[in-house]
């Protein structure tokens, strides 16, 4: 079961949403403030958070920004009693899955939660991939990193060797180590791996 969190400063809203979501087969956990949520929830774990936009202290929009800045896999749905198109657009630009107005439509929320489950799983996989890439890059020496960049520019070994003022055989050894450490068998795989990094 995907973890589901509700953050709203109105206890009545929390109670009604909890009742609705329990009826849909979820076991939501409610919080009356962003601080309570942040003190209780591990943001590195996958999950879904439904956040009220307007709350005292840290509001839902600021909490969304915080979750996004940490590359948390948690998928976020924003909630507001006084929503505007501008507010909805801003929330989605910040990384929210969608923006709902109170009172919440149960059918629409259920559809969104299905999408949110997929998104949080994708976010988690992207984080795993990013950490794997960072670990591989950390094993490269400065010279190997330099060689990798020039290889990705499509330069021939003899050209790179001349630019770095090393023997071609030395360059070939550096290149082999890059491929070994990055766990790829050719330049196309290396280019794909490094190209994916821009998605993280």
Write down the pLDDT at residue 141.
96
Q: Are 2 and 28 in contact (CB under 8 A)?
A: no
pLDDT in tens, 163-189: 999 999 999 999 999 999 999 999 999
**Which SS3 state, helix, strand or coil, does residue 140 take?**
coil
**Average of pLDDT values for 33-54?**
95
Does pTM top 0.85 for this prediction?
A: no
Cα 122 from Cα 108, distance rounded (Å): 21
Q: Is the pLDDT of residue 195 over 70?
A: yes
Answer with the residue of higher pLDDT: 43 or 83. Answer: 43
The 3-state DSSP class for residue 1 equals coil
């Amino acid at each position: 079961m995907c973890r589901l969190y509700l953050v709203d400063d109105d206890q009545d809203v929390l109670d009604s949403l909890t009742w609705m979501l329990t009826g849909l087969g979820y076991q939501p956990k409610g919080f009356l403030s962003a601080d309570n949520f942040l003190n209780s929830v591990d943001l590195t774990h996958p999950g879904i958070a439904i956040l009220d936009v307007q709350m005292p202290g840290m509001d839902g929009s600021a909490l969304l920004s915080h979750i996004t800045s940490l590359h948390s896999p948690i998928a976020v749905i924003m909630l507001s009693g006084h929503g505007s198109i501008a507010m909805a657009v801003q929330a989605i630009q910040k990384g929210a899955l969608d923006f709902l107005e109170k009172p919440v439509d149960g059918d629409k929320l259920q559809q969104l939660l299905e999408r949110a489950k997929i998104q949080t799983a994708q976010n988690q996989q992207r984080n795993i991939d990013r950490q794997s890439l960072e670990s591989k890059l950390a094993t490269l020496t400065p010279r190997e990193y330099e060689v990798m960049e020039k290889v990705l520019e499509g330069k021939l070994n003899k050209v790179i060797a001349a630019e770095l003022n090393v023997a071609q055989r030395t360059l070939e050894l550096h290149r082999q180590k890059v491929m070994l450490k990055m766990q790829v068998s050719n330049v196309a795989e290396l280019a794909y791996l490094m190209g994916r990094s821009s998605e993280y």
